[in-house]
Structure 1
Amino acid sequence: MSAVVQDQPRSDLRPPLAHRRLPRWAPAAVAVAAVAVACGIGAGAGLSSHLQWGLIALILFVVGTYALTSLVEGRRQAKDRVATSLVWACFILAVVPLYSLIETTVAKGVKVLDGNFLTHSMGGVITTGPGGGVYHAIIGTLEQVGLASLMAVPIGLFTAIYLVEYGRGRLAKAVTFFVDVMTGIPSIVAGLFILAFWIIILGFGYSGFAGSLALAILMMPVVVRSTEEMLKLVPNELREASLALGVPKWRTILKVVLPTSVGGILTGVMLAVARIAGETAPVLLLVFGNQLINNNPFSGAQSSLPYYVYEQYANGNDASYDRAWAAALVLIAFVMILNLLARGLARWKAPKTSGR
């Protein structure tokens, strides 16, 4: 009986079934064919927008990928390839506007962007003529964003720590609710609030600090929400291990929780800074604009980069347009430098692991 069993072929020794698969170059070939056909359709139909050509190519690529994969690999694999193609297509659609924005700003901003533009103000410069600079607006932006960060970051950080580590009951729910409400407040509303409270009721004048108060209101909920989410990602095992060793809770937060999440916290702070660096409405209402250099944010009107861009574009002449694009490029570079510094600081302060 055992000999009969041994002579029978085993099913697990049979050769696996061979599945037909498309070559690796097939998606690239389909993409090239889709682009070629889309160009022919666009040129034949007289479509002037290259965006329309791109959308036609995208549709042809998805349809062609599904049809070819269905014939060779089957419908199940075809659906998988279509889903992958849609993911890549959405990524490209998200990158194209960003690239177009940066390319346009750089192309138009470099016309007047030089050392003279960065080190001079608009004092004594005719708006319809060349010359002038953005130095006074850079000073205003740095001071206003810096003061707003000094006010918003500590308050937002401590609020997030309270909500994650200590918050229980109605008070925590109320704080969470108002943080969510403040996240959606328009910038003009924050500016009107500071205008009514700081200038009309208390009687203080227009200044960079008044604008910083409104910017801090806009920045605070972003810091709270981002920091809260980062603190929630810290494993509870780390907290429990520290507390089990007899470490006080405040020291556990300071030495374990915050260092573990410092990278995400800094990224959230930089997102908040980027959120307020381009705000124009509070500056229009509270800072009031200034053609000259004002290094004192607590006294007198000041300018800022967003206000400068708005002001120059509103002048309506070619020289002012060039200055507006150059100031927009400076503002983008300012935000980009802050993000690079935040990433470097987060990597430096992040807890070291054995794999590094």
Structure 2
Amino acid sequence: MTTPTQTARATKPGRDNNPLRGRKLPQAVVVLLPIAVLLLTLGLFSITGLQGYAGYVVTALVLYLIVQSVVSFAYEGPRQARDRLATTLIYVAFALAMLPLVLILAYTLARGLRALSGEFLTHSMFTISSFEAGGGATHAILGTIYVSLIAAVFAVPLGILTAIYLVEYGGRTRFGKSVSFFVDVMTGVPSIVSGLFIYTFWLLTLGFSKTAFAGALSLVLLMLPIVVRSTEEMLKLVPTDLREASYALGIPKWRTIIKVVLPTALSGIITGVMLGVARIMGETAPLLLLVGSTPRINADPFNGQMSTLPTFINQYFGLAAGNAQSPNADRAWAAALTLILLIMAINLAAKAVARFTRAR
């Protein structure tokens, strides 16, 4: 005897016996269909002149889309077949977008781990010939940190204050619209252009030499629009009710911004700042023009040239001269892996800081 509860469960929307859903492909068919297509593609490659991994993947993908559509149209009907085809195309597009990133990370790990060691992280290239093994990238790691910190010291306060002005004061005025327009323009300026501008102004016009400070000035131009835009978006997310409640208590606007608006948006602002720092750490062109390179540790950002990880990679890839097994190539790949790990650590730190500083 069927109870009312069992009847309700049997007729509950979303069950497979719901007549509005139509028939669905059995799970066994969904699992076995890709395997059958891969075997079919392998057979085609064995009896024809097709070859190559890329050709195999493309052929298998096209055959899978065709076979899946035919089977789905025959079993599920046109509506479900179109839905299944669109879903498959979305997954394929996502996989194709992720494929270059995965390949880059995998190859960098495979090559970088061969030379990455404690000695590489704790020694410089001073007194080490480029033709022999040994040495490390300590001077380049410290140079990257110095240049990025100097750029952040200038870009972070300027960016936050500019965003506060655009959101809280003059965003709708003519001057505010002009500032917003130039921030958008700076967002699309190539890094080499900012490097050439500082090179012309700081080195050629004022007569200064290549230093870490000169490189940091060019990175400020690249980091500033990122900080402005990220901070601006975070400030816009602060509810207007919080501002109005503060004004109703007689608190002036500047104090409301400091005590209410900024603490509420602090986690997002910190995340934007950290992402901006991670963005400029991988820049190469401005640093080649303005910072230079040296094999020893230079802790003075205002005097003498200083190596950074991007310039270190560029230098030793050039010295490798196409020999993928030379010590110079190993150094370059190890430095590339170090840079990726450093940027990854900054991103993870940004997420952790945003989590523990968000308003509750």
The alignment's TM-score, normalised by the length of structure 2, stands at 0.87
Letter aligned with residue 40 of structure 1: G
The separation in 2 between residues aligned to 1:253 and 1:124, in whole angstroms, is: 54
1:211 aligns with 2:211: no
Q: Which runs of 5+ in 2 are unaligned?
A: 1-16
The separation in 2 between residues aligned to 1:108 and 1:330, in whole angstroms, is: 12
The separation in 2 between residues aligned to 1:192 and 1:90, in whole angstroms, is: 38
1:258 aligns with 2:262: yes
1:303-342 matched pairs, under 5 angstroms: 303-315=307-319, 316=321, 317=323, 318-342=326-350
**Deviation for aligned residue 1:114:** 0.7
Partner of residue 150, structure 1: 153
1:114 aligns with 2:122: no
Letter aligned with residue 295 of structure 1: A
Which runs of at least 4 in structure 1 moved beyond 6 Å after TM superposition? Answer: none
Partner of residue 182, structure 1: 186
**Deviation for aligned residue 1:142:** 0.4
Instruction: Identify if the C-alpha distance between structure 1 residues 107 and 175 changes in structure 2 by more than 3 Å, giving closer, same or farther.
Output: same
Q: Which runs of 5+ in 1 are unaligned?
A: 1-14
3-state SS of 1:110 partner? helix
Q: How many residues align?
A: 338
The separation in 2 between residues aligned to 1:64 and 1:236, in whole angstroms, is: 55
8 Å contact 1:206–1:301 — kept in the other structure?
yes
Partner of residue 127, structure 1: 130
8 Å contact 1:313–1:324 — kept in the other structure?
yes
The separation in 1 between residues aligned to 2:120 and 2:294, in whole angstroms, is: 16
Cα RMSD (Å) of the superposition? Answer: 2.1
**Deviation for aligned residue 1:238:** 3.6
Instruction: Identify if the C-alpha distance between structure 1 residues 259 and 287 changes in structure 2 by more than 3 Å, giving closer, same or farther.
Output: same
1:170 aligns with 2:186: no
1:52-63 matched pairs, under 5 angstroms: 52-63=55-66
3-state SS of 1:111 partner? helix
1:29 to 32, 55, 61: 32
**Deviation for aligned residue 1:217:** 0.7
**Deviation for aligned residue 1:48:** 4.2
8 Å contact 1:215–1:276 — kept in the other structure?
yes
The separation in 1 between residues aligned to 2:253 and 2:179, in whole angstroms, is: 22
Instruction: Identify if the C-alpha distance between structure 1 residues 127 and 266 changes in structure 2 by more than 3 Å, giving closer, same or farther.
Output: same
Letter aligned with residue 351 of structure 1: A
8 Å contact 1:283–1:289 — kept in the other structure?
no
**Deviation for aligned residue 1:266:** 2.9
Partner of residue 6, structure 1: none
Instruction: Identify if the C-alpha distance between structure 1 residues 44 and 298 changes in structure 2 by more than 3 Å, giving closer, same or farther.
Output: farther
Instruction: Identify if the C-alpha distance between structure 1 residues 21 and 182 changes in structure 2 by more than 3 Å, giving closer, same or farther.
Output: same
2:272 to 268, 274, 282: 268
Partner of residue 348, structure 1: 356
8 Å contact 2:282–2:310 — kept in the other structure?
yes
The separation in 2 between residues aligned to 1:41 and 1:65, in whole angstroms, is: 18
8 Å contact 1:144–1:208 — kept in the other structure?
yes
The separation in 2 between residues aligned to 1:245 and 1:64, in whole angstroms, is: 68
**Deviation for aligned residue 1:44:** 4.2
**Deviation for aligned residue 1:45:** 4.1
3-state SS of 1:293 partner? coil
8 Å contact 2:159–2:227 — kept in the other structure?
yes
**Deviation for aligned residue 1:274:** 2.3
The alignment's TM-score, normalised by the length of structure 1, stands at 0.88
The separation in 2 between residues aligned to 1:291 and 1:249, in whole angstroms, is: 52
3-state SS of 2:25 partner? coil
3-state SS of 2:89 partner? helix
